[in-house]
Structure 1
Amino acid sequence: MAAINDVAAYILRARGPMSAMKLQKLCYYAYGYHLAWEERPLFPERFEAWANGPVSPRLYRCHRGCFQLSAGDIPGDPAALDEGEQESVDMVLAGLGDYTAHQLSTMTHNEAPWVNARKRAGAVLLERSSEELLDEEIFEFFDALTAANADGEEEV
């Protein structure tokens, strides 16, 4: 199993420079879709319900203080992803890679995993929270999206 740093390094190599917030959100969406498609986590690290959407504290520690990131800025090994992991990340990048960081963040604010974690924490708008998003809720949300997509709705 890859680590989040490996996935982040893979994304930066595939898509080039992007903001730290966009990288966090793409890692989150890759995690969620991979969990639904493969029924296994993409990496062991967890996401917390921060004010601007899901954030991995481990990845945040790697880019803290940096707004823009490029390939090589995150210590990770893109080759650590297995074929299924690469496929999941590639599909997410194909579907969501052109979205802005703000668009991705706004999307997460309307989705059950982040909303539920914020409610559990009692966090109001812009308030800090370290409440973890639960894999069960992430799986349920993304599994429902993939089921809807299988019924003919728009893909990722």
Structure 2
Amino acid sequence: MQHYSAFDVSCHIVGSSIDAGEPVSNLQLQKILYFVQVGYYAKRHEFLFEDDFEAWQYGPVVPEVYRLFSIWGGDKITRKPAMSHRTLSESDKALIDPIICEKRNKAPWTLVAEAHAEGSPWRHTMSTKGDRGVISKALICASI
């Protein structure tokens, strides 16, 4: 298994979205990052990255990634990150790129609604730990 950070994966999401002429906002990035993690686990039975998601008002968020891209506010991220990051393997890209393509074409609030679905790890965490509670990996595994 490759050892990526959530930032590495976020750089791929942002870069591939810019290359496709479909840049994403930070809100979209956070939800896509979550759905990529869930989709990867569903196929490989391991996580793409170890960073934790927190349950924020508008869905799952990796706080460090959120802060790094927060300079864009609610606007689309139109520049690739200049910071050094690991490149994803071709096999990992092949698995997650269809998820990225599907999700980046959805409205941000549609992604929020999907993340907030009844019985979702986000909903369970918000109801038991409150805002900014860590969404356990066990909950993510159980949701698949």
TM-score for both structures, normalised by structure 1? 0.78
Alignment match of 1:86 (pick from 85, 90, 93): 93
Any gaps of 5 or more consecutive residues in structure 1?
124-128, 144-156
94-103 or 3-12, which deviates more: 94-103
8 Å contact from structure 1 (residues 10, 77) kept in 2: no
Which residue in the other structure is 2:37 paired with?
31
Q: Which residue of 1 aligns with 2:11?
A: 9
Structure 2: state its 5+ residue gaps. Answer: none
Whether the aligned pair in 1 keeps the contact of 2:24 and 2:104 (CA below 8 Å) is no
- Quote the RMSD (CA, aligned, Å): 1.8
Matching of residue 106 in structure 1 with residue 143 in structure 2: no
| Structure-1 residue corresponding to 2:25 | 19
Matched with 1:116 is 124
Deviations 1:69-104 (A, max 9, x none): 12423735362x233421232121233221111110
Q: Report % sequence identity.
A: 23
Match of 2:80 in 1: 72
- Counterpart for residue 136 of structure 2: 134
Task: Provide closer, same or farther for how the CA distance between residues 131 and 18 of structure 1 changes in structure 2, counting only shifts above 3 A.
Answer: same
